[in-house]
Structure 1
Amino acid sequence: MKKEDIIKEKLALIDRVHSLKALSDDLWFLPFREGSWGIADVISHFIAWDQFMIDNRISYLLKNEPFPQMAIDVEEINRSASRYARSGITKGQLIDEFITKRKQLLSLLSELDAERFARPLPGRENIILGNYFVGMIEHDEKHMVQIESFINQNQIA
């Protein structure tokens, strides 16, 4: 996928998330099913992973260096995001934080040369950068479909 398409797709999520400000707080925190996340948790999850991308991926891409070798505790990052979503931060604050973080991510992405997206990741020659971001976009979309489906199922007529 081309740089401009990646940025466009990642940017489109901002408007979709911003529209969630109109939700009731009850629906915002309601789990999708027993024992699962709710909308607040997913938005916090986006923030956590955008920050991870900024710190551990894009900053290295900008220097054309391989990603650091590190153990990534996905479950702990996700648990921490969920705790943060339920720490007392308001819906508006969390959404605004997501928007700020996503814009920061996109600003850094825009600094990368367009042709860079057609080349392999440094140190990982089997992964093309554009394809790497396609996976991130698909991840965002999976969660947004989950959120939008949940809202549609729980709307009060």
Structure 2
Amino acid sequence: MDKEQIVKRKLLLTEWAKKLYSIPDEVWFKPFNQGTWGTADVISHFISWDQFLIENRLPFLLREESFPAMVFDSELINKSASEYARSGISKENLLSEFILIRKSLVSLIELLPLATFKRPYPLKKDISISEYFIGLINHDLKHKEQIDEFLNSYY
């Protein structure tokens, strides 16, 4: 997958997300299964990880610098995302925030030179930066399908 396709696919999720504005609030927060996330949690999850990339990955890729040494807890990031989704923020504001942050992320990806996509990903030398982004796209699609299946079974 080339840079143009990566940008397009990352941005496509914003168009899909616009359809979620019409979900009733009782469905917006309803878990997919007992003890799992609901749609609101997943959208907040997208926001948290996009923000992580914006702050901790893309600036370093743009400057062709090594990533800073850091310890992060993905479980804590995901838990915080779920808490944020349920903090009282409206569905409309959460969706708008996701769309804005995803567009910001895509804008930064667009700034990366083509050659960057062929380089090894700094933290996993066995994959390229392009393959790293493909993995992120697949992750997006997994969650999108999860939401779509839930909504299709609900209605």
Distance 2:122 2:37 in 1: 34
- CA separation of 1:127 and 1:67: change in aligned 2, threshold 3 A: farther
The alpha carbon displacement at 1:66 in A equals 1.5
1:141 aligns with 2:145: no
- CA separation of 1:61 and 1:41: change in aligned 2, threshold 3 A: same
Distance 1:74 1:123 in 2: 15
Query: Which residue does the alignment assign to 2:82?
Result: 82
Q: Is the 8 A contact 1:41 1:82 kept in 2?
A: yes
1:128 aligns with 2:128: yes
- CA separation of 1:124 and 1:154: change in aligned 2, threshold 3 A: closer
Q: Is the 8 A contact 1:21 1:91 kept in 2?
A: yes
Runs of 5+ unmatched residues, structure 2: none
Query: Which residue does the alignment assign to 2:53?
Result: 53
Distance 2:58 2:153 in 1: 37
Distance 2:150 2:20 in 1: 12
Structure 1 residues 68-95: Cα deviation after superposition (integer angstroms, max 9, x where no partner): 2222200000000000000000000000
The alpha carbon displacement at 1:102 in A equals 0.2
The alpha carbon displacement at 1:38 in A equals 0.3
Give the stretch that moved more between structures: 41-50 or 67-76: 67-76
Identity of aligned residues (%): 51
The alpha carbon displacement at 1:125 in A equals 3.3
Structure 1 residues 106-155: Cα deviation after superposition (integer angstroms, max 9, x where no partner): 11111111221112134653220000000000000000000000000000
Q: Which amino acid aligns with 2:23?
A: L
Instruction: Report the 3-state secondary structure (helix = DSSP H, G, I; strand = E; otherwise coil) of the residue aligned with 2:66.
Output: coil
Cα RMSD after superposing both structures? 1.1
Distance 1:23 1:81 in 2: 20
Q: Which amino acid aligns with 2:43?
A: I
Q: Is the 8 A contact 1:3 1:114 kept in 2?
A: yes
- CA separation of 1:82 and 1:128: change in aligned 2, threshold 3 A: same
Q: What is the aligned length?
A: 155
Distance 2:90 2:152 in 1: 22
Q: Is the 8 A contact 1:65 1:122 kept in 2?
A: no
Query: Which residue does the alignment assign to 1:152?
Result: 152
Mapping for residues 47-126 of structure 1, pairs under 5 Å:
47-122=47-122, 124-126=124-126
